[in-house]
Amino acid sequence: KEEASRKVELGDYISFATDFRQENSRATGKAFDDRAGCAVLMEVIEQEQRYEDDLYFAFLVQEEPGLRGSAVLFEQVCPDLALVIEGTTAGDDPGLPEHQWATRLGDGPAITFMHRGYVVNKKIYESILRVAQKYDIKHQPKRRTAGGTDAARLAKTGGGVPAGVISVPARYIHSPLSMIDLGDFENTVKLVSKILEEGEGFAR
């Protein structure tokens, strides 16, 4: 306490200085939760593809303290449907029973059928699965319904927006050192890209 008091005062903001590292098929870095989703969107944007429908990429804030950013997004864009891309818990930890694992690193992007506050529209959920199967993209269901995403806020704002949820599994997602599988990340980029290419098929 005495040492810390010489460097900071009560109320100061501090954070861990964690470097990004990539080794073999894994990457580690700070707080990969929704940052993994942002990175997926950037990869899709950099492909510079043109799509038939209007498409908005939104990098939202304050999901954790109350899904605040997505409510503002609705007022500005009023989308017909949404695809939430994020990071989610990988439960494949030796200290946790397998039946409690939400996802597993290396098994591909996690596709959510429901979570706290939201049940994914069945047509959207099945469309995501159909695209993954059509292009032989490795994927997995998210096996726990704990936690939430901006899809819940979109469903409850205005007239409601149906939304799918695709996640990059990450170990220790809210910690100073998170871990993702690069294959999962690449397959998430591929899945999102193919969904956008399919266009209207995603909404049917």
Separation of alpha carbons 180 and 22, rounded Å? 10
Active site residue 63: yes
Kindly tell me the number of DSSP H helices and DSSP E strands found in the chain: 6, 9
**β-pair partners for 94:** none
Which pLDDT belongs to residue 204? Answer: 47
- The neighbour count for residue 90, using CB atoms within 10 Å, is 27
pTM listed for this prediction = 0.87
Is 63 in contact with 108 (CB distance < 8 Å)? no
Q: Among residues of the chain, what percentage have pLDDT more than 90?
A: 42
Set 43, 63, 64, 86: catalytic member: 63
- The neighbour count for residue 156, using CB atoms within 10 Å, is 15
Separation of alpha carbons 122 and 126, rounded Å? 6
What single DSSP character describes residue 24?
T
The secondary element (H helix, E strand) that includes residue 133 is helix 122-134
Separation of alpha carbons 203 and 82, rounded Å? 10
> Sorting pLDDT into bands at 50, 70 and 90, what band is 20?
very high
Query: What CATH number was assigned to the domain covering residues 16-202?
Result: 3.40.630.10
Give the C-alpha distances (Å, rounded to integers) separating 17 from 21, 30, 84, 139: 13, 8, 28, 32
**Per-residue pLDDT tens over the stretch 46-70:** 998 888 788 888 888 766 655 666 6
